[in-house]
Amino acid sequence: MNGQNRSDIKIGARVSIVLKADQRTGKRTEGVVARLLTKSSTHPHGVKVMLEDGQVGRVQEIL
């Protein structure tokens, strides 16, 4: 699943995100969702989340 629909992403889910600093390269970081930061139901670049380790990025894939 892609990370564009907020309803698909649950707290505690394992996801692959792109950090703001890695947007040019597209380097992905894996982690577990701690908070959903995007308020709208969808976002074309991926829903913004905070991982348990504090990193923030947009979800590219739900693992």
**What pLDDT, on the 0 to 100 scale, is given for residue 44?**
93
Tell me the two tokens of residue 63: 């693992």
Q: Binning pLDDT at 50, 70 and 90, where does residue 1 land?
A: confident
Of the candidates 39, 33, 40, 38, the residue with the CA atom closest to the CA atom of residue 55? 33
Tokens in use for 38? 């995007």
- Condensed to tens digits (0 to 9), the pLDDT of residues 4-62 reads 999 999 999 999 999 999 999 999 999 999 999 999 999 999 999 999 999 999 999 99
Apex CA 27: angle with CA 61 and CA 19, to 5°?
Answer: 75
pLDDT at residue 34 in the model: 97
Q: Are 51 and 12 in contact (CB under 8 A)?
A: no
Domains of the chain: 6-62 (2.30.30)
Q: Which residue shows structure tokens 């709208």?
A: 40
